Every structure is written in structure tokens, then in C-alpha cells.
């Protein structure tokens, strides 16, 4: 149960949080690379968790989130989705204001 508390704490403390494989500067899969690039293009300040370095989180998060794959973008405590959903929202111009509102709310 302790790992779920860690996940909840990470989500609560970071208005924009990306669970990904690798890091934004060194992603370890194409989907994570695309997700990080989208956030950079949104000019977003975001936190990330490398699930490859955190196997307990990697194992527990899909069940907690009810979302089986990575990356996972969380904004203002809510799961937005993976890189396909992020790209769709970005292309529609809907991701940027969502992120901006979450960041402004946290200041």
C-alpha cells in the first residue's frame, strides 16, 4: 500500500506530471519521447518519474490509474492519458490551456 501513497503524493505535489520511460532528455521509448516533446512545445514546466528506475511505481500505477500503458500524463491531479491523447489535445489546442491553468493554480 505504501507505493500507492507515494504515487498519490507525487500526483498531488506536481501540477503537471509525466510518468515515462527514461527522462525528457533521454527518453527510452518513442511514446515517452513524443510525450516529453509535446510538453516542451507547450512551454510547460513539468515533473517526471522514470518508471524504469522505479519498478514498484511501474507495477502499481496501471492499476491505480486504470490505464495500462506508459507514458501517463497527469494534470492537476487528473489522468489526461498517454502520448496519443496528448498529441490529439495538443493539435486541437486544448492541452496548452489545460496545462497553463494547472500551473497557475499551483502558484
Residues annotated in a binding site for [2Fe-2S] cluster:
29
Edge-to-edge order in the sheet of strand 72-75: 47-50, 16-20, 72-75, 78-81
- Residues annotated within the binding site are 21, 29, 58, 70, 83-84
Binding residues for glutathione: 21, 58, 70, 83-84
The x, y and z cell numbers of residue 51, run together, are: 518508471
How close are the terminal C-alpha atoms of the chain, in Å? 30
Amino acid at each position: 500500500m505504501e507505493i500507492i501513497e507515494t504515487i498519490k503524493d507525487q500526483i498531488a505535489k506536481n501540477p503537471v506530471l509525466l510518468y515515462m520511460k527514461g527522462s525528457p532528455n533521454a527518453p527510452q521509448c518513442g511514446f515517452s519521447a513524443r510525450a516529453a516533446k509535446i510538453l516542451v512545445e507547450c512551454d510547460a514546466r513539468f515533473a517526471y518519474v522514470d518508471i524504469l528506475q522505479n519498478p514498484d511505481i511501474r507495477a502499481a500505477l496501471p492499476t491505480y490509474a486504470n490505464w495500462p500503458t506508459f507514458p501517463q500524463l497527469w494534470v492537476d491531479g487528473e489522468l489526461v492519458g498517454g502520448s496519443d491523447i496528448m498529441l490529439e489535445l495538443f493539435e486541437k489546442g486544448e492541452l496548452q490551456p489545460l496545462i497553463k491553468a494547472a500551473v497557475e493554480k499551483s502558484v
